[in-house]
Chain A
Amino acid sequence: MSLARFLQVSDLHLGRPFAWLPQARREDRRRDQQRALEMAVSHAVEHGAHAILVPGDLFDSTAVDAGLLTFAIRVFEVSGCPPVFIAPGNHDPVSDANAAFHPRLLRARGMRWPEHVHVFDTPEWTAVPVAKLPGVRVWGRCSTSSVESTDRPLAPEALAAVTATDPRGFEIALFHGSREGQCPPGQESTAPFSDAEVAASPFVYHAVGHYHAMSRIEQPLAEGVKSAGARLAYAGSAISLDHTETGTHGALEVRIEYGHRLPFVEVEPIELDRRHVYPLDVDVTGAASADHVDRRVLKALEVAGAGEMDFAAVRLTGRLGPGVRWSGAGTELRDRVFHVRTDARAVRPDHDLAAYRTSGGRTTEERFAIELLTQLDAETDPGRCAVIERALHYGLDAFRLREVSPASDEVSA
């Protein structure tokens, strides 16, 4: 039996603006990205990986400045770095405008990728053998545009070129695509494929990029299958790219046993992001002041174990007493973690809506509340619901507090 080791890292998105972070934090996060890639290469060297697989979105856009490109080239030039296979994704597609991958433009900039780095620069599948693994080939394809692509990379007609498997080794697929039915909200679908196509493809393993959360398709041992174990895996983004990307982020160590029996693939996550995103729901009902709200959040951070390196995505819920205004995190809270983002849209003024419902509607105030509650109950459009709900609270604030302030928003600190 032979063992092939690969390190799969994708969706680095080097050069990401991180506009959602305060200016002072953006550079730190960009360095986190670079550090993650360095760690990935270092891990591959130390653990004797036979190749590094980068299934797309190494860069965040085609406008890659010289510093970033130099870094990416240098990071793969370290001593002992195994062969690197890059399949550009929808964020850094291969095109005449992409001076990071286009060989002629690279030369024009006075740069070039090291010899052991191979960039798949066609949308068709092409194969490159892995130097130290006889019979093992990495097949790759690239995205050629940043717009949504409906090309199905694992469709039988697209795989017509994948032939002549060497009995000594196996074939690996490297591409950027969307697993159908699993696309996270807000993310574009590109190069879609289905689980059935994955099962039917001639590849032993599919290293895929695009989705920023780690996921995989397991293939149980059965007759007629090409491999067992992990059949496809997303390594996810190497680091959290925004406050919605919770959980562990990093790379995958892919180990494939092959030889006299069916290849068996197992993947192991390698954590590269030293910061974590902590999603927290904090009930602020009864808080008597903005400081009290902050203290509730601090308490929740304490309980969750968030450290000063981490992100906190705090969703405030509950009801704030009359006159209590909270417009954002205070200094202590801001200093508690690397970055805190609070969403106070779910916080409601402390009006007893249930009492209004049962009041009988004798006064204008009660009838106003009943009228809007009725509309709210009948409305299905979430946007319209939000408007009605706000109108209800504004009206009641006008009656009760004689003061109306805009509802709270998402606040980044």
Chain B
Amino acid sequence: MKLIRLRVSGFGPLRGEWSFAPDKVNVVVDDNERGKSTVLSAIAAALYGLEDDRRSHRVLTPLERWRPWTGGGFGVELELRSGGRTLSIARDFERGTVTVFDDQGREVTGEFVDGKDVPVGQRLLGVDAAEFEKCALVRQGDLDAVVPGDERARRASTLRARLENAADTHIGDTNASEALRVLDESLRRYEAHELEFTGTVENAIERLEAKASLIESAIHEIDHNVVRSQEPLDAMAALAEEEQAIREALRLLDEEKLASHAAAVRRQLEEDEANRAELARLEAEARELDPLAHVPQNAEAELRDAISRHEEGQLNLETLESRRHDEIGRERALVEQGLKSLEAFEGYTDEDANACVAVAADLRRLALEDATHRRQVFDLRDQLASQGYEPERIQFLTARFSGLPDDQQRILRQQTDVNLAFQTEVARLEQERTLASETLRTLDASLNGRRMPGWFALAIAGGAAIGGVVGLAMHGRPLLWGGLFGAGVVVAGVGMALLSIGSRAQAVEREAALRRLSEAQKRLNQLRTQRVENELGLADLARLMGYRDAVDLMRHWNEYARMIEDSGPLLRAQDLLAATEAQKRQVLDRARPLLRALADAPPTPEALERIAHDSRRAALARTRLEQLDRSDESVDRQRQLLESATAGLRERAIRILQGAGLSYDPERTWPEMVAELAARMTLRARRTVVVDELIPYAKQRLLPEAEIEERRKQLAILLHGREDMPEPRPPVEIDLEVQQARANLDGVQRRRGDLRVEFEEVLRAHAQQRPELEAQLDRFRRATARARAFKQAAELARTTIQGVAVDTHRRWADFLNTRVGELLRLFGTQVEQLRFGEDLDFSVQMDGGPQVSRGKAHLLLSAGARDQLYLAVRLAVSEYLSRGGEPLPLLFDDVFATSDDRRLESGMRTLIDGFAAGHQLIVMTCHRGRHHDLMRVDPELYRNRVHWLEVGAPAEART
């Protein structure tokens, strides 16, 4: 394929049109940063388009990278010759359109469409974009990367790595070693999510299998439990049969119980018939006894009561008469005897007896009070004596002062108070008077100070007025002297005003001070006057009472006053004692008339009380005699009452007999009649029992007709089919057996229930756990299978890559050994031989030197030699990869930048001679002068075989 023309409407910094010579080496010369490298990218973009897939170009997609810097159109058009026809590829990256026209002007885009893409380069060259870039483009940085500037990076075999990349992968960005590492890593860091485990796949498989095995064991266990649960099932079946047998026994017992029940029903019916016969007999008896029905229920008791009371009444009448005379006579004698011994109290009444009792009580009370007051007086006297008061002194002072008139006693009492008041108040009043005088003096001094300016002004005014009057009086100048006089008058007014103000100042305070002074003086005078008057009165009293002076009088008075104060309780007790004695005398006066019955008796309470007692006894005796006199009448009345009651009782007994259907026969005794009535009452009681108890009870025991019918039917049903049934056992015995059978049944059912629970629990657990375990087992089995499959597949991939990589590298090594050596010789390097191994590392033999490893050779080779070496390898790779297809155009971006002139010359010659025949070469360079020098050295070669272009030159000058 040959490139003919490139038109760029906008591609990064590039814009313009360039024509390439198809059969020559196209050298594009221009300065740096003019877009030479961009030309190569634009050619690749025209052939393959620009990717816009952000997943593989996360930072910047090629489409974004090459968007025109200055805006405008974004497209390229490439004209080329391929397969004998000329094609024009136009790509508008803005719209995403591609059109391909052939040299006839026909659109042939359809020939290149592959799905959504139009990879024209792929169809024309047989290589995709990655391969084209790897084979056809030798960029400026590529060689730098082949031999990095950094020493540490150089230690790694970068060339080898790149060769490996080129040999191993289509794109060339990785290699088999890296792929193997990735596979190893994936086998080493396998993630088993089911176990939350990350580790080697072998470990994961082992763990998953172990886990699955555990779950299998668990499943087997619960399955085994189900199998084992069959054992209790047999026991359960046996128990069920046992239960059935017990139920059958219970059924037979029920049958027997029914037979027993039938017997009981039959018995009930027979009993009912007997009861009915008994009822009929009782009713007949009741009918016979019906005539006695009207006999009162208590006739016999009433009759007996009436007869006994009648007999008792008669007996009472007989005894009443005899007893009356005996009792009255005996009592009267006794009363009259007592009354005779109490003749002394004949004149006493009830009031006298009460008065005796009251006086006796007063006497006792007064005696008690008198004793109390006397004991108090003695106690108080002992107390005063213990305080130093002699009874004689007390009597003396009392005699002296107690008889004084009130006014004299008042003078004596006031003397002490007047003296005390005089001593306490005089000092205070004197102090107050002194303070008031001081205040007045201070106020007067202040007043004088305030009035001084006024006096001064009055003095000046007087002088001026006098001067004016004298001047006028001497006929001086009237205005002057008149003025002086007027000024004097004015100043005088002022002085008067000042005097007035000064006088009125502090007038209130002065008035208050004067008032306090006068009041203090007045009070002092009063005290002195009172004191003098009292002393005069005392002196007179002392003289009257025979004292030497008032002081002597006051000493005795004071002693008397203290004594009076201390002997107050004694005096009060003495007063009370005297009052008691007076009352006692009055009571004794009242007692004397009452003691007339006891002439010689002293008036004591006991005597008075004896009089009261005997006088009352005498009164009672008299009253009793009167009662005995009246008792004959009452006994007569009692006898009449008894007689009438006895007659009534007899009548009542006769009525009772008649009421019971018996007639009274006076010939017969009461007991005979009572016996007859008793016999009738027995029959009546029998009737009552029959009618009220026996017949109702008998009726109660009878079964209702419906029930009898029911029982008969029931009996018929119970007997149906059991006619031959043997005599049933007693129900108690049957119940006992039933109870035992039920206990057995309960036991069997309980045991069976326990076994059933055990059995059902196993099944329930099985149903509950088995699904989950199965799910887990399935999960782990699938995980194990997945891990195994992964391991198997990854190991197969690994083995295959390893085997294929060795073979590929060997092929590459063979080719590179031959072709790189040839190229190096054409470049004129000193490398005699270059040997690549299967690992794509190489060794170098310099001219005549030994074979040295890559590391040593790196040190031996100059930078230019290294570039040539790597260029040779690059060219060899391009040749190798593009074998079999249409020759690729080779685009070089300043690959001789580090070569010296000689190597540049040999390198260019090699390209021109060795590659231009097969490939279209486009060499970009910024070394314009060096290439012009080459052209000058070998003008023939460059004139015919090289086509010069400039990127930045106008379109017409670019070819």
Contacts and interface: CB of A to CB of B under 8 A. Distances in A.
B932 interface: no
A388 B793 CA distance: 6
Nearest to B785: A409
Given A321-B55, A363-B170, A387-B789, A398 B764 contact: no
Contacts of A405: 186
Given A105-B233, A391-B796, A371 B186 contact: no
B336 interface: no
A381 to B, nearest CB: 13
Given A63-B226, A366-B170, A402 B182 contact: yes
B789 A390 contact: yes
B178 A402 contact: yes
B186 A394 contact: yes
Contacts of B190: 406
B767 A66 contact: no
A270 B356 CA distance: 136
B227 interface: yes
B883 to A, nearest CB: 8
A216 B773 CA distance: 37
B752 interface: yes
A394 B239 contact: no
A97 B227 contact: yes
B179 interface: yes
A114 to B, nearest CB: 18
B57 to A, nearest CB: 13
Given A105-B233, A398-B180, A390 B793 contact: yes
Contacts of A359: 170
B752 A17 contact: no
Nearest to A109: B756
Contacts of A386: 789
A15 B793 contact: no
Nearest to B237: A108
A99 B179 contact: no
Q: How large is the interface on B (under 10, 10 to 19, 20 to 34, 35 or more residues)?
A: 35 or more
Interface string A68-103: 100000000000000000000000000011010000
B777 to A, nearest CB: 8
B807 interface: yes
From B167, B244, B808, residue with most partner A Cβ within 10 Å = B808
Nearest to B236: A108
Interface in B881-915: 881, 884
B281 to A, nearest CB: 61
B357 interface: no
B756 A398 contact: no
A155 interface: no
A107 to B, nearest CB: 5
A407 B785 CA distance: 11
Contacts of A399: 168-169, 174, 179
A292 interface: no
Nearest to B765: A65
A274 interface: no
Contacts of B770: 17, 19
Interface in B943-959: none
Interface stretch (B78-86, B681-689, B797-805): B797-805
Q: How large is the interface on A (under 10, 10 to 19, 20 to 34, 35 or more residues)?
A: 35 or more
Contacts of B587: none
Contacts of B645: none
Given A104-B237, A108-B236, A367 B789 contact: no
A65 B767 contact: yes
B813 to A, nearest CB: 13
Contacts of B283: none
A366 B128 CA distance: 13
A404 B237 contact: no
Contacts of A366: 170
Contacts of A390: 789-790, 792-793
Interface string A378-409: 00000000111011101101111011111101
B789 A19 contact: no
Given A364-B808, A368-B804, A66 B760 contact: yes
Contact of B167 (A65, A99, A364, A391): A364
A360 B797 CA distance: 20
Nearest to B239: A108
B3 to A, nearest CB: 24
Nearest to A62: B226
A368 B804 CA distance: 6
Contact of A26 (B764, B771, B804, B884): B771
A362 B767 CA distance: 61
Given A19-B774, A395-B800, A399-B179, A65 B805 contact: no
A322 interface: yes
B324 interface: no
B240 A108 contact: yes
B775 interface: yes
A185 interface: no
Contact of A18 (B771, B789, B801, B809): B771
Contacts of A387: 789, 792-793, 796
A371 B800 contact: yes
A395 B179 contact: yes
B759 interface: yes
Nearest to B165: A363
Interface in B797-828: 797-798, 800-801, 803-805, 807-809
B654 interface: no
A291 to B, nearest CB: 15
A273 to B, nearest CB: 20
Counting from the closest, the 5 A-B pairs by CB-CB distance are A17-B771, A108-B236, A390-B793, A395-B797, A19-B774
5 contacts: A96-B230, A105-B236, A110-B756, A398-B179, A399-B179
